[in-house]
């Protein structure tokens, strides 16, 4: 089956309708659009299950209680609707037996591409008896069937054992462990990267498999539970990813693009002096002649060698103070490319980035040598991560954190 075009995918994202009901252990599960009237139920569950959710929720200057007042829910609903219209996310509320029981979503880092991230959190009491597994399976079926995605991913904190178990039972493969990947619970944490392919789908879909694989629940597991008190020992709380908001990206970009304290060269190499500068309109034709690039980076910088334009480097997919590094040059001298990459990484960390990463096509010797020069660590290999020349290919994930970079710079001194 052919993958949908970017415009067709965005159209389908905006036309989402409720999913379900599906029944597991006598309980009805529905995925639907969030309503403003869900505010009190959302507040009650998030406050009650704080101990389960806060360690893996995005860090915030607000206290947990202040983050979960009804007004914040309304703002969240409006932000998610805006993001859905833009093709960034398909958000759902999880409803169990007609009651609000959590949220789940498919979210795009790159709009219009056939790869997206699964995220879900559930009422710690409602998730038992196969409900959590079914809710996740329903949105995965939706991603592969309705949206025709090629890959669904998830990111789970390495210490979030229930979430990791949930990914395993869904059939996802652990493909990478990412250092200081996400700022959650007040600190940057290590996360696991999980992948599920459309080719993994069996007859009847993931939801059918989830229902068929769940053991019959004991009465205590499906009985109505009073909202007072803490979750039981059997409770499961999932928080596998995060939602991306344009306002956060804009704030980071302002910091990156307007930082006069940071020098961007020159850096002396055998071929001459390498320097980075802001891109000019007059650069466009020359850069296209060097190497046409089909990405639109949030922060591009031109590379000069002794004052002559020889290429471009950039940061893109900036999210949570993490960014992807890219680069191309017309120079055959490898030290020019390495010097430009050094300058961009130095710049990114000086102005506030916490993590820089590079996806390298498996077998790309040149790029592997570059990331090794930068001191990046191989965190894993991601299946069918990105399209290259019309074919989705596996990519090695390389990254360096501010902490590792600082330690490396100290050792070199």
How does pLDDT run across 331-359, given as a tens digit for each residue?
777 899 999 999 999 999 988 899 999 99
Q: Which is more confident, 87 or 263?
A: 87
Other Cβ atoms less than 10 A from the Cβ of 7: the count is: 10
pLDDT, average across residues 241-264? 55
Q: Which helix (H) or strand (E) holds 90?
A: strand 89-96
In tens, the pLDDT along 367-384 reads 999 999 999 999 999 999
Average pLDDT across the chain, whole number: 86
Distance of CA 15 to the CA centre of its chain: 23
Q: Which of 161, 27, 156 is nearest to 94 (CA)?
A: 27
Single out the residue of 115, 1, 3 nearest to residue 384, CA to CA: 115
> pLDDT band at 237, cuts 50/70/90?
very low
Q: How open is the CA angle 151-201-130, to the nearest 5 degrees?
A: 100
Which of the given ranges, 176-185, 218-227, 371-380, has the highest pLDDT on average?
371-380
* Average pLDDT rounded to a whole number, residues 185-208: 93
CA pseudo-torsion sign 305, 309, 315, 317: negative
Q: What global pTM score does this model have? A: 0.87
Confidence class of residue 255 from pLDDT cuts 50, 70 and 90? low
**Mean pLDDT on 108-119:** 92
Compute the average pLDDT of residues 238-257: 50
Strands (E), 126-169: 151-157
Nearest alpha carbon to residue 196 among 157, 166, 152 = 152
pLDDT at 149: 96
Looking at residue 228, what is its pLDDT? 36
Q: Using 50, 70 and 90 to split pLDDT, how confident is the model at 290?
A: confident
pLDDT value at position 162? Answer: 87
CA pair distance 167, 146, nearest whole angstrom: 21
What pLDDT, on a 0 to 100 scale, did the predictor assign at position 127? Answer: 86
3-state helix, strand, coil in the chain (%, to 5): 35, 35, 30
Q: Rg for the chain (alpha carbons), in Å?
A: 23
Domains annotated for the chain, with CATH where assigned, are 6-244 (3.40.630.30), 249-412 (3.40.630.30)
| Residue 35, pLDDT score | 96
Range 165-169 contact pairs with CB under 8 angstroms and sequence separation of 24 or more: 166/132, 166/133, 166/136, 166/236, 166/238, 166/240, 167/192, 167/194, 167/240, 169/133, 169/213
In the chain, what percentage of residues exceed pLDDT 90?
62
């Amino acid at each position: 089956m052919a993958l949908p075009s970017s415009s067709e995918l965005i159209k389908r994202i905006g036309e989402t309708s409720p999913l379900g009901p599906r029944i597991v252990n006598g309980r009805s599960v529905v995925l639907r659009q969030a309503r403003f009237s869900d505010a009190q139920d959302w507040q009650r569950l998030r406050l009650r299950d704080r101990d389960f959710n806060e360690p893996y929720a995005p860090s915030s200057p607000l206290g947990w209680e202040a983050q979960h007042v009804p007004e914040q829910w309304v703002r969240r609903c409006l932000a998610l609707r805006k993001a859905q219209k833009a093709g960034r996310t398909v958000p759902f509320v999880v409803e169990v037996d007609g009651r609000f029981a959590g949220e789940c979503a498919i979210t795009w880092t790159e709009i219009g591409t056939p790869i997206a991230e699964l995220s879900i959190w559930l009422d710690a009491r409602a998730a038992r008896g196969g409900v959590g597994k079914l809710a996740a399976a329903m949105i995965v079926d939706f991603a592969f069937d309705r949206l025709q995605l090629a890959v669904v991913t998830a990111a789970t904190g390495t210490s979030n054992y229930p979430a990791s178990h949930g990914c395993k039972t869904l059939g996802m493969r652990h493909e990478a462990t990412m250092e200081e990947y996400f700022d959650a619970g007040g600190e940057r944490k290590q996360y696991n990267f999980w992948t599920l392919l459309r080719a993994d789908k069996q007859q009847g879909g993931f939801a059918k498999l989830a229902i068929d694989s769940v053991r019959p629940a004991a009465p205590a597991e499906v009985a109505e539970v009073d909202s007072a008190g803490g979750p039981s020992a059997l409770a499961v709380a999932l928080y596998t990813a995060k939602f991306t908001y344009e306002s956060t990206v804009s704030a980071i970009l302002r910091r990156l693009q307007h930082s006069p304290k940071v020098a961007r060269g020159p850096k002396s190499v055998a071929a001459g002096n390498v320097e980075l500068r802001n891109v000019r309109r007059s650069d466009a034709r020359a850069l296209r002649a060097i190497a046409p690039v089909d990405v639109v980076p949030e922060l591009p910088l031109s590379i000069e060698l002794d004052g002559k334009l020889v290429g471009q480097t950039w940061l893109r997919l900036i999210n949570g103070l993490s960014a992807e590094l890219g680069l191309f040059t017309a120079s055959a001298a490898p030290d020019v490319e390495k010097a430009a990459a050094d300058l961009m990484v130095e710049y990114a960390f000086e102005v506030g980035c916490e993590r820089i990463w590079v996806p390298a096509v498996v077998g790309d010797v040149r790029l592997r040598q570059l990331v090794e020069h930068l001191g990046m660590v191989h965190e894993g290999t991601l299946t069918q991560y990105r399209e290259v020349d019309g074919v989705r290919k596996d990519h090695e994930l390389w990254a360096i954190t501010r902490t590792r970079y600082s330690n490396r710079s100290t050792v070199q001194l």
